[in-house]
A = this chain, B = another copy of it.
Amino acid sequence: MQSLRVALGERSYAIHIGSGLMGHAALYAPHLAASAAIVTDEIVGPLYLEKVRRALSPLRATEIIVAAGEESKSWQTLNEVFDRLLAARHGRDTLLVALGGGVVGDLAGFAAAVYQRGIPFIQVPTTLLAQVDSSVGGKTAINHPRGKNMVGAFHQPRAVIADMAALDTLPERELRAGLAEVIKHGLALDGVFTSWLEANMEKLVSRDHAALAYAVQRSCELKAAIVAADERESGERALLNFGHTFGHAIEAAAGYGAWLHGEAVAAGMVMAAELSRTANGLPQADVERVRALVRRAGLPVKGPAVEPQRLIELMATDKKAAQGSVRFVLLKSIGKAVLPTSADAAQVRQAIVAAAQ
């Protein structure tokens, strides 16, 4: 087991990474309260709820099982969580455990942020994406009919327990989508880690626990270093958006839900690498390294079958809402992204076309 500390002053916490961890009572022990509540979903619950409940015993633990999927990031589901907590008379001295992927983490994390003005929570992420992404940063939220993640809070967990064994049951496509974010951390922030990924991609895809544990650990380290310096998201944290300007447009163009977020980011990273070549002098050989790595992870290297103009329009619309110009996180070299810059429209189009070659 590796334990890594996210340094955020009095809100610092540990991320424990290893195989079979979610059943280890000792990892929960330092954070036990008067009672506990476990929030999970209908897919993860049957697989792992009993294991976590046993690790928390003899603490009284209320089990709250929500529907799987993005629809659970809603007022309705959040209110159901509060209703269950209040019906079971949970006070402020309740430890909430979020057992599941990103949806459960966001929902339960936000519930913990505002239930009785805030209770402690532990994250047990069961998808690779949640392990490398939502484990660090303290972002919690629900959706509003008018926009995703429009209502939420920054609420840091007391601990994160990232169990590689949970990934054994993860659908193939979701594993690969999680690898997109791992690759992003390498490409944007760490050339040495990128080389390691190139050397170990087959192990990752075949779910070798040791390889996955290292990939999660290094991803979390890289993200934690940035978040520690920029908890409320202003400067450096933007580097984590490498591939995301294109990625968001791809998700929208394909119709939300058709592409997984990680799949869209994967193709977006290839486009961003192409744009880095023309706009930022990234060598062609490095663009090819990006493309090859994405491909070996089984992820798409080009966007959906729409006109480049459509993606460009979607990016512009996205930014019009934010009253700014379209900006891209580009690579200076492999492992070194630079803060967002505007780009020439012709170059953006060219990058989209080049990625599709």
Contact of A150 among B116, B141, B144 (CB under 8 A): B116
**Is there an interface contact between A83 and B146, defined as CB atoms closer than 8 Å?**
yes
Q: How far is the CB of A172 from chain B (nearest CB, A)?
A: 33
Contact with B along A156-195 (1 / 0, CB 8 A): 0000000000000000000000000000000000000000
- Within 8 Å by CB of A152, from B83, B114, B139, B152, lies B114
A32 to chain B, nearest CB (A): 16
A335 at interface by CB-CB < 8 Å: no
> Judging by beta carbons under 8 Å apart, are B153 and A141 in contact?
no
Closest Cβ neighbor of A138 among chain B residues: B117
* Residues from 70 to 86 in A contacting B, C-beta threshold 8 Å: 75, 79, 82-83, 86
Pair B118/A153 contact, Cβ less than 8 Å: yes
Contacts A79-B75, A86-B150, A321-B89 given; indicate if A114 touches B114 (C-beta within 8 A): yes
CB–CB B146/A91 < 8 A = no
Known contacts A91-B322, A91-B323, A321-B89; A153 and B75 CB within 8 A of each other: no
Interface residue from B82, B91, B117, B118 paired with A144 (Cβ < 8 Å): B82
Interface magnitude class on chain A: 20 to 34
Q: How far is the CB of A238 from chain B (nearest CB, A)?
A: 14
Instruction: Evaluate contact between B83 and A114: CB separation under 8 angstroms.
Output: no
The CA of A149 and the CA of B118, in the complex, are separated in Å by 12
The verdict on A115 contacting chain B, using a C-beta distance below 8 Å, is yes
Give the residues in chain B near A117, CB-CB below 8 Å: 139, 141, 149, 152-154
Query: Quick one: closest B residue to A93, CB to CB?
Result: B323
Residues of chain B lying within 8 A (CB to CB) of residue A141 = 117
Q: Could you tell me the distance between the alpha carbons of A141 and B82 in the complex, rounded to whole angstroms? A: 14
A293 at the interface (CB under 8 A from B): no
- Chain A contact residues, CB within 8 Å of chain B: 34, 75, 79, 82-83, 86-87, 89, 91, 110, 113-118, 139, 141, 144-147, 149-154, 321-323
A-B contact pairs, 5 of them (CB 8 A): A83-B144, A83-B145, A113-B114, A114-B153, A115-B150
